Amino acid sequence: MFHVSRDGSVLDRDGRIIFFSVERFIADIANGDCCFICGARRDAVPFNDEHVIPDWILRRFGLHDRRIEIPNHTLFRYGGMTVPCCVACNTEMGERFEKPMSALFAGGYEAVSQELKAHGPWLLFCWMALMFLKTHLKDKYLNYHRDRRKGDTKIAELHSWDELHHLHCVVRSFYSGARLNQEVIGSLLVLPAKVRPHFEGFDFIDLSAAQTMLLCMGDVALIAVFNDSQAAMSIAFEDFQKKIGGFLSPLQLRELAATLACINLQVEPRARFLSEIDVLAEECSIKAERPEEVQISDWDRELYGQVLYALAADMIKGMENAAELATQVKSGHYTFLTTPDGTFDADCMELAPRADSGK
């Protein structure tokens, strides 16, 4: 049967960690140098580490030597964005996620859309969650201050790791064997993206506090909210149906990500996530207790304007009316999705996001 350790973690009869307690997750994974999947120590098994952005994406879009903006507003090379991972777990994730994802995205939007219809959202959702978690685990190696004289505080010290514990449980469910109940899945959008000659075809945004992520590759874009039990989409669905009428520009995709993120920050009441372990039956499941109805009592338009401007600023700076547009965006009343008469803006103008745009 399963064994419960002193810190509350659960191990199987072979010593594999089925469930990390919050204490052990913070000590060994968030602050430690153990494999983020199995928890093995670097001096115990071979390591080859794991790319935050999968290597096949870096190769496909020529990103290895390009740079991404990190939370302290400095740039870091994509190819150097790795997190501790043992060889065995890295190999298994390659087989379970990266090989099928690489083949799937080679078929573009139609292939990804068909995968969603045929097999549901779990593979895409868990793959996105994996990338989001790795992005934040990398922060424990990155200094917050560019000036070393100001101290060696790490960016990761800004994160609330207990809030990422559930996401870690979901990400490693392929290893732990935990069953994921339907309510665990968050809001997930698969959208058609515009492909233009001046746009390199890749965009990546993660919004830490809102647990929201945007990934665009070629003509397919994915937006995921990881901790809302689909609440954000339940609120935004009808509005999105009215506004989305075709292939979306980078600015329009960022607006959708900002919208879902701000809904997730303000929605109430929130779902509660938990892992249930039957020690005798050797079973583990991850569940969500969610309210029957969710709402936003008072939409914070100023917050929305700030988030949207943060995501759109690098694109609108080059526009002729940049100052006026920036003011309107910050007000929280501006939309790139529709024209003044309320129809989908198929000709939305924007500059292409740079490869060094990021979280």
The answer to whether residue 122 is domain-embedded is yes
Q: What is the mean pLDDT of residues 138-151?
A: 81
pLDDT number for residue 104: 97
The CB density around residue 284, as the number of other CB atoms within 10 Å, is 21
The answer to whether residue 350 is domain-embedded is no
pLDDT number for residue 321: 87
Alpha helix (H) residue ranges in the chain? 22-24, 55-60, 87-93, 99-106, 108-119, 122-138, 161-171, 173-176, 231-243, 250-266, 301-316, 322-331
Token pair in block for residue 114: 């068909």
- pLDDT at residue 155 above 50? yes
Average per-residue pLDDT for the chain: 92
Q: Do 265 and 306 form a contact (C-beta atoms < 8 A)?
A: no
pLDDT above 70: percentage of residues in the chain: 96
- Please list, in sequence order, all residues whose beta carbon lies within 8 angstroms of the beta carbon of residue 250, skipping any fewer than 6 positions away: 193, 194, 199, 203, 216, 315, 350, 352, 353
Choose between 73 and 307: higher pLDDT. 307
Domain hosting 281: range is: 3-331
The answer to whether residue 353 is domain-embedded is no
- Per the structure, how many domains does the chain have? 1
The answer to whether residue 337 is domain-embedded is no
- Please list, in sequence order, all residues whose beta carbon lies within 8 angstroms of the beta carbon of residue 200, skipping any fewer than 6 positions away: 61, 352, 355
The answer to whether residue 355 is domain-embedded is no
Q: Is 354 helix (H, G, I), strand (E, B) or coil?
A: coil
The answer to whether residue 33 is domain-embedded is yes
Q: What is the mean pLDDT of residues 135-158?
A: 83
H-run or E-run covering 207: strand 202-207
pLDDT number for residue 149: 78
The answer to whether residue 193 is domain-embedded is yes
**DSSP secondary structure, 144-170, as one string:** S-SSGGG---BGGGGS-HHHHHHHHHH
- Please list, in sequence order, all residues whose beta carbon lies within 8 angstroms of the beta carbon of residue 58, skipping any fewer than 6 positions away: 51, 64, 78, 79
Q: What is the mean pLDDT of residues 262-283?
A: 96
The CB density around residue 109, as the number of other CB atoms within 10 Å, is 19
Q: What is the mean pLDDT of residues 181-187?
A: 97
pLDDT number for residue 353: 47
The answer to whether residue 343 is domain-embedded is no
| Sheet strands side by side (includes 283-289) | 179-180, 283-289, 272-278
pLDDT number for residue 197: 58
pLDDT band per the 50, 70, 90 thresholds, residue 236: very high
- pLDDT at residue 352 above 50? no
Q: Do 60 and 27 form a contact (C-beta atoms < 8 A)?
A: no
pLDDT number for residue 198: 54
pLDDT number for residue 350: 57
Q: What is the mean pLDDT of residues 341-347?
A: 90
Q: Whole-model pTM?
A: 0.93
pLDDT band per the 50, 70, 90 thresholds, residue 359: very low
Token pair in block for residue 236: 């935004």
- pLDDT at residue 110 above 50? yes
- pLDDT at residue 111 above 50? yes
Chain Cα centroid distance, residue 129: 5
